[in-house]
Each structure stands twice: as C-alpha cells, then as structure tokens.
C-alpha cells in the first residue's frame, strides 16, 4: 500500500458523510422516543430505538415548532428526516424534519398521563373553580381572530348582550407554537384587571387540531389565570385537558358566550315586569292608603272629639239634673224641718200657757224655772199674759 492510499480521519469521515447523506436524503422511520431533552435553545435531542437498535436524533427549533404535541419518552412516533454525519464526533444522527404520533393510541396515552398528573396535583379540584360573573362588562377572548369561533362569539354577543365589550387576544389555536400562543394571550388578558371572564377556545377539529388544548403549559396558564376562564373547544363528546382545568367548560364557543352573558330578552322582561309589578304595587299601596284614611276617619280615636262633646254635654245634663234634684230635695227637707220646728214652737207656745193664767218669772233676763233658782232679794220680772211687772 503506497502512502498515497492512506486516508486521513477527516478524509474518511468526509467520504462516509457523502455516502451516507447521499444514500439517505429523505426517509421515514418508526421508533420509540427515549432520553428526550428539550434544550433551552429550543432544539430537541433524543434517541429513537426499537428492540434491536438505537439512533441519535436532533430536531431543530425551526422544525419542532411544527410538532403539535410535546414528545415524551416511551412515545412511538413516525418521523421523516435525513441522515447526517457530525465529523467532530464521528457520529451519525437523524436530522428530523417532521414528527407525528405512530397512532392515535400514542396521543391518547399521553393525554391520560397528563390528565392523571394534573388531577393528582389538584388542578381540577372544585375548590379552585372561580365563579363566572352573570353580566360581565368585558369578556376576554383567546382564539384565532380569523376563525369561525370568534365570529360565533361576536354574533352571540350582538344577539344576547350588546352591552358587552369583547377584548380579543389573538392566538394561534393549532399547529406549531399554538400552545405557547394561547398561554401568551391568557397572560396578556390577565394584565387587564377590568376583564371579568375569559373564553379560551376554537371551533371543532381533529384531535391534532385541538391538541394545543391538551398541552400542559395551556392547562397551567388556565389554572394560574386570576380571571375566571371558560374553555370552549368545539367538540361535543371528548374533553380536552383545558376543559378539566377551566373554571367552566362549554362544548362550543357559542355555548361559552351564552354561559358568560345574560340574555337581553330576559333583561327586557325584568324591566317590563318591574314597570307592571311596581305599578300594581303602587296602586295597591294607594288603595291601601285610601282605605287606611277612611278607617282612620271612622276609627274610635277619630270619633273621640265628637263623642267627648256628646259625653260632656251628657255630663252637664246629668249634673244639672243632679243639682236640680238636690235643690229640690233640700228644699223639701228645709220645708219639712221648718214645719217640724214650727209645730214644736207651736206646741211650746208660751203665749197659750200665759193665756191660761200662768206667770213667767225672769231674773237677770233669764227665766227662773225652779224655786231654788230664785234669788231672794234680787229684782225680778213677772210676765203675765197681758203685761209684765218689774218687782224691785
């Protein structure tokens, strides 16, 4: 072997690189992910393996952006890419351009794993569910600004509650970076303290289309939102992780909007019933007042003054009657006693006695009724019927 045929390490590697890279410019491969690492730069590094072998893989940020789910160890995926050789380390690897789950079962398994994890952490607990206001002035909306979901939301607002202000934080709702975009919009809306409720959602689609709403970062952003969130991912049957963690779940964006707003017709009815009922109530009150007034006029208390007058006049009458009675009785009494006295006086009529011939003896102007009272020697008077004689 001549010196000419001696290769350098670099030279050999260069040939290997050319052969390998030219032989495998683009291929698809099925394998199971292990040692998955998402570097802070955004690039992904992992190994694809099966029971027989393993091979290193890289997926640059510019490409992994378009993967709608987050790969995990143990997940079976189908990738497309090309083989590259990295001369400084003498290694070969797959430069991956696209990746999808090897079957729906893979996504379902990832979904179940995340659901269990978040459930165990308590992110679905009822105690964390915030109350949805009944008539919010401002509603935040996280969805695609061009999507049907937003059009539906606007039309419900116009029909049900035109007083509302919708604050849309546009978000990418499917494909690469959708989850990050939704998270970002939720955070942005949370900076506006006057937003009372947020609707996060999109119209219906395939499991891939909806996958952003099954991502952990979206679930955590919903959980951490200070403003109550209604999830509104258009699918009647299945739930997304977002539905479990949201404060309220709606099957569609339209339904979410209906849950977040009062119906203007109900408000009209409230106002109309106020006018009707209050007028009735007022009429009743006026009737009642009228009745009360009549009752007061008729009442015992109100009749008192007149009764008093009547009673007083009766009292006067009574008094007069009594006085009259009294006077009369007294008069009669006087008369009778007078008669009695008169007759007594009559019976003792001295004149009559004197007429019979008796004499009355007076000493010191007093009648001397007994001999022993007579004071001999003192002057006395003799009263006869016809005359009186002074005896000294």
224 binds other proteins (CB under 8 A): no
Specify the stretch interacting with other proteins by CB under 8 A; choose among 158-166, 248-256, 338-346, 353-361: 158-166
Q: Are strands 138-142 and 197-202 parallel, antiparallel or unpaired?
A: parallel
60 binds other proteins (CB under 8 A): yes
80 binds other proteins (CB under 8 A): no
Which residue, among 231, 226, 244, has the nearest Cα to 173 in the 3D structure? 231
Residue 182: CB minimum distance to other proteins, A? 10
The 186-215 contact track toward other proteins, x by CB under 8 A, reads --xx--x-----------------------
61 binds other proteins (CB under 8 A): yes
CA distances from 50 to 75, 162, 177, 243 (A): 12, 59, 29, 35
Take residue 296 and report the two structure tokens written for it. Answer: 């007061």
Task: List strand residue ranges (DSSP E) for the chain, in order.
Answer: 27-38, 44-49, 54-59, 76-86, 91-101, 138-142, 165-168, 197-202, 229-233, 248-250, 360-363, 366-367, 380-383, 388-391
326 binds other proteins (CB under 8 A): no
Q: Which residue, 55 or 267, is less far from other proteins as judged by CB? A: 267
264 binds other proteins (CB under 8 A): yes
Positive or negative: CA dihedral 171, 177, 179, 180: negative
Give yes or no for a contact between 223 and 187, defined as CB atoms under 8 angstroms apart.
no
**DSSP for 135-197, written as a single string:** S-SEEEEES-TTSHHHHHHHHHHHHH-TT-EEEE-----SSTTHHHHHHHHHHHHHT-TT--E
135 binds other proteins (CB under 8 A): yes
User: How far apart (Å, rounded) are the C-alpha atoms in residues 164 and 158?
Assistant: 9
164 binds other proteins (CB under 8 A): yes
Question: Which of 7, 269, 289, 375 is in the footprint of other proteins by CB under 8 A?
Answer: 289
User: How far apart (Å, rounded) are the C-alpha atoms in residues 346 and 196?
Assistant: 123
Give yes or no for a contact between 102 and 78, defined as CB atoms under 8 angstroms apart.
yes
* Binding residues with other proteins: total (CB under 8 A): 50
Specify the stretch interacting with other proteins by CB under 8 A; choose among 12-20, 174-182, 247-255, 377-385: 174-182
Specify the stretch interacting with other proteins by CB under 8 A; choose among 19-27, 60-68, 197-205, 218-226: 60-68
Which residue, among 140, 142, 206, has the nearest Cα to 175 in the 3D structure? 206
**CA angle, corner 107, sides to 102 and 110, nearest 5?**
125
Residue 300: CB minimum distance to other proteins, A? 22
181 binds other proteins (CB under 8 A): yes
Residue 213: CB minimum distance to other proteins, A? 17
The 28-47 contact track toward other proteins, x by CB under 8 A, reads -------------xxx----
Question: Which of 19, 163, 350, 375 is in the footprint of other proteins by CB under 8 A?
Answer: 163
Take residue 391 and report the two structure tokens written for it. Answer: 């005896």
294 binds other proteins (CB under 8 A): no
Which residue, among 236, 244, 155, 165, has the nearest Cα to 203 in the 3D structure? 236
Q: Which residue, 75 or 189, is less far from other proteins as judged by CB? A: 189
Question: Dihedral through CA 312, CA 317, CA 321, CA 324, nearest 10?
Answer: 100
185 binds other proteins (CB under 8 A): yes
304 binds other proteins (CB under 8 A): no
Question: Which of 177, 204, 216, 360 is in the footprint of other proteins by CB under 8 A?
Answer: 177
Residue 35: CB minimum distance to other proteins, A? 21
Residue 140: CB minimum distance to other proteins, A? 8
Specify the stretch interacting with other proteins by CB under 8 A; choose among 75-83, 111-119, 283-291, 303-311: 283-291
User: How far apart (Å, rounded) are the C-alpha atoms in residues 108 and 113?
Assistant: 9
Interface contacts to other proteins, rule CB under 8 A: 41-43, 60-63, 65, 135, 137, 145, 154, 157-158, 162-172, 176-177, 180-181, 183-185, 188-189, 192, 264, 267-268, 270-271, 274-275, 277-279, 281-282, 285-286, 289
């Amino acid at each position: 072997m001549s010196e000419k045929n001696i290769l350098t390490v670099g030279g050999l590697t260069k040939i290997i690189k050319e052969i390998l890279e030219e032989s495998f410019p683009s291929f698809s491969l099925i394998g199971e992910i292990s040692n998955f690492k998402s570097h802070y730069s955004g690039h992904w590094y992992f190994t694809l393996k099966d029971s027989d072998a393993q091979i290193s893989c890289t997926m640059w940020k510019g490409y992994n952006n378009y993967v709608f789910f987050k790969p995990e160890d143990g997940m079976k995926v189908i990738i497309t890419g090309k083989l590259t050789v990295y001369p400084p380390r003498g290694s070969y690897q797959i430069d991956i351009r696209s990746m999808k789950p090897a079957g729906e079962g893979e996504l379902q398994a990832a979904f179940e794993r995340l659901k269990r994890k978040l459930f165990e952490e308590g992110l679905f607990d009822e105690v964390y569910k915030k109350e949805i206001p009944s008539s919010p002035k401002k509603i935040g909306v996280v969805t695609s600004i061009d999507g049907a979901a937003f059009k539906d939301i606007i039309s419900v607002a116009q029909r049900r509650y035109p007083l509302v202000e919708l604050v849309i934080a546009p978000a990418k709702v499917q494909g690469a970076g959708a989850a990050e975009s939704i998270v970002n919009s939720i955070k942005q809306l949370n900076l506006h303290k006057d937003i009372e409720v947020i609707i996060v959602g999109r119209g219906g689609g395939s499991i891939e289309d909806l996958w952003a709403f099954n991502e952990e970062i979206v679930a955590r952003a919903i959980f951490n939102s200070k403003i109550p969130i209604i999830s509104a991912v258009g699918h009647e049957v299945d739930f997304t992780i977002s539905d479990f963690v949201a404060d309220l779940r709606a099957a569609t964006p339209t339904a979410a909007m209906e849950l977040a707003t009062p119906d203007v017709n109900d408000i009209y009815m409230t106002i109309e019933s106020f006018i009707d009922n209050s007028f009735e109530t007022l009429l009743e009150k006026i009737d009642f007042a009228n009745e009360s007034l009549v009752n007061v006029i008729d009442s015992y208390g109100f009749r008192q003054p007149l009764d008093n007058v009547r009673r007083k006049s009766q009292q006067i009458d009574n008094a007069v009657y009594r006085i009259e009675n009294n006077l009369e009785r007294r008069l009669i009494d006087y008369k009778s006693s007078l008669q009695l006295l008169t007759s007594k006086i009559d019976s003792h009529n001295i004149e009559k006695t004197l007429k019979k011939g008796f004499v009355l003896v007076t000493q010191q102007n007093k009648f001397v009724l007994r001999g022993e009272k007579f004071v001999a020697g003192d002057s006395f008077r003799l009263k006869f019927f016809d005359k009186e004689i002074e005896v000294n």
